[in-house]
Structure 1
Amino acid sequence: MVVAEVPKLASAAEYFFKMGVEGKRFRPTVLLLMASALNLDTPKSAAGGIINSLPSELRMRQQCIAEITEMIHVASLLHDDVLDDAETRRGIDSLNSVMGNKLAVLAGNFLLSRAYVAVASLKNEELVGLYAEVVKHLVTGETMQIATTLEQRCSMEYYMRKTCYKTASLISNSCKAIAILTGQTVEVSTRAYEYGHNLGLAFQLIDDVLDFTGTSASLGKGSLTDIRHGIITAPLLFAMEEFPQLRTVVDRGFDSSADVDQALEYLGKSRGIEKTMELATEHAKVAAAAIDSLPKSNHEEVLRARRALVDLTHRVISRTK
């Protein structure tokens, strides 16, 4: 789908894909499994893989949703790296550090445009509105992150709302898009959305934990990235509930390494990491419950896909990178 008249723009847009570091392919995996999990009316196929049991035309349209989602996700990463002056991404040099900020922004814009061409090709007005909302949420979430007051930076409610926009909206609405393409009821579409929403929140909460507990080698990025950019995430927010004096350190913005060290000391004495893990686990359980509440099916491929989706909720919580 990434085709451009200007070779340099095409190279920039395909940078992560060509380098063989597309990431965990987490979102496409979720969406293709969701497609099979909602395959309620298709007779069981003797040939039998999870994806192969779907009608070919419908399967292609659902694969298109997975591609659209990944293009939007990568576009958001390219833009984030420019905003954050990031030097690495996924264990390699970031695109902006290799080709410059201007080309990185243009490559992100180009991926978004290609994603929307793909959405339009599905000829479904509801999906057009859905993905317009997703992009609005991504922009809103990023703006919330870079334009916060001191009170907002220290608010768990504000943090969770920002996380819904920046991380959960894309996967939740894409799960819903899969249900819409499959012709499911509003109730089933809502369950698909709830799964993606809560899985996305759990994923981000664990990311926030790993920013403190992981290493640059395992994460493919420098650890303590958020705090060094003055971004306050769930572990520190929970730590502040136990140690209100941490607020004074947070308000200074972590411009000095001494403040970073002091914040980490408070975090180590608190249950901040543990409480963030508990919150992530709660969201993972809600995601699993959404799958369990889908209409009953006797098709083995459907049941296998649902088991895999539930298993993903456990993997998200236990991951170390």
Structure 2
Amino acid sequence: MVYTFKTVLIGNIVLLKASELLAKIENAEVVSILSNVLDDLIRGEFMQLASSSDENQRFRMYLEKTYKKTASLMANCCKAVTILSEVDDVMIEAAYSFGRHLGMAFQLLDDVLDFVGQETKLGKPAGGSDLRLGLATGPVLFAAQQFPELEMMLEAKLTSADDQKKAFEFVRDSNGIGQTRMLAEFHFQEAQRQLSHFKATDARECLLQVAATTLQRSF
């Protein structure tokens, strides 16, 4: 409880400092864009707590939650920088799309690493830590398309330790991890494609390297 309270206080300080820095920018459009990031983060957390009994709706919610909790920050920060740089609308949209696809790829791979990564490098328990929280991520949702029993377990919200263990085994025996990697690869390719709108400079090369590093993450 003490650590939770301290974490909340630290979060409040970070938000305060961020608001202070935003005010110094003196650009109403950028302030609005970055304020929306906070709104997305909060809505994403609420979406993570919600669930749906419909398989297709559940996957759509997962992708939207992934955008709001992770990709929105990258996308809108990229957009804000280009607005401040006073470039044309095509480049602003390309920067936003680059950040969006990079953020989606990053989170999808993070969900993969939750099943195959090493705890010491992940900084959190590995071996399906999200499952233990009752969260169905990409590998789980793809696996559920192969195993109807897992679909039924998801509808029950994976509340028991036994269900969580079985769900982990279903994911391990399915192609869910591979399919999630493929989806991450798609977003990586899209992120790279958006950078074609920018001139070939050291800055663009740096962004390409950032995207490549994201895709190659393995622990």
Residue in structure 2 matched with residue 219 of structure 1 by the alignment: 122
Of the three residues 179, 187, 196, the one matched with 1:292 is 196
TM norm structure 2: 0.93
For residues 229-250 of structure 1, the C-alpha deviation after alignment (integer angstroms, 9 at most, x for no partner) is 0010000111111222211222
Deviation at 1:306, TM superposition (A): 1.3
CA distance in 2, matches of 1:153, 1:105: 35
Residues 1-321 of structure 1 mapped to structure 2, 5 A cutoff? 99-151=2-54, 155-223=58-126, 224-294=128-198, 296=199, 303-321=201-219
Higher mean C-alpha displacement, 141-150 vs 198-207: 141-150
Q: Work out the CA distance in 2 between the residues paired with 1:170 and 1:218.
A: 23
Give per-residue Cα distances to partners, 1:69-121, cap 9 Å, x unaligned.
xxxxxxxxxxxxxxxxxxxxxxxxxxx6xx43223212212211210110110
Deviations 1:134-192, CA, capped at 9 Å, x for gaps: 11101100111113344479711110011111000111100111101111111111111
Measured after TM superposition, the shift of residue 258 of structure 1 is 2.1
Gaps of at least 5 residues in structure 2 are none
Partners of 1:310 and 1:160 in 2: CA distance: 24
- Structure 1: distance between partners of 2:46 and 2:55: 12
User: What CA distance in whole angstroms lies between the structure 1 residues aligned with 2:69 and 2:42?
Assistant: 8
**Superposition misfits of 4+ residues, deviation over 6 angstroms:** none
Conserved 8 A contact 2:142-2:176: yes
Instruction: Look up the SS of the partner of 1:100 in the other structure.
Output: helix
How many residue pairs end up in the alignment? 218
Q: Is the 8 A contact 1:153 1:231 kept in 2?
A: no
Letter of the structure 1 residue corresponding to residue 156 of structure 2: R
| Identity between Structure 1 and Structure 2 (%) | 36
The Cα offsets for residues 244-283 of structure 1, whole Å up to 9 and x where unpaired, read as: 2211222333333321221122112211000000000000
The one-letter code sitting in structure 2 at the alignment partner of 1:216 is E
- Contact map agreement 1:218 1:320 (CA 8 A) in 2: no
One-letter amino acid of the structure 1 residue matched with residue 139 of structure 2: P
Equivalents in 2 of 1:255, 1:162: separation in Å? 21
Helix, strand or coil at the partner of 2:148? coil
Cα displacement string for residues 114-136 of structure 1 (whole angstroms, at most 9, x for unaligned residues): 10110110111111101111111
With 304-313 and 135-144 compared, the bigger mean Cα shift is at 304-313
Does the 8 Å contact 2:145/2:151 carry over to 1? no
Question: Aligned partners of 2:118 and 2:164: how far apart in 1?
Answer: 16
Aligned residue type for 1:251: E
- Cα distance in 1, alignment partners of residues 103 and 168 from structure 2: 26
Cα RMSD of the aligned pairs, angstroms, is 1.8
Q: 1:153–1:140: structure 2 CA closer, same or farther, 3 Å change rule?
A: farther
Structure 1 residue 194: deviation in Å? 0.6
| Separation in structure 1 between the aligned mates of residue 59 and residue 98 of structure 2, nearest angstrom | 22
Gaps of 5+ in 1: 1-95, 298-302
Q: Is the Cα–Cα contact under 8 Å of residues 131 and 168 in structure 2 kept in the other structure?
A: no
Q: Distance in 2 between matches of 1:139 and 1:177?
A: 20
1-structure distance, mates of 2:158, 2:28: 46
> TM (normalized to structure 1)?
0.64
Higher Rg of the two aligned structures: 1
Question: What SS class does the counterpart of residue 232 from structure 1 fall into?
Answer: coil
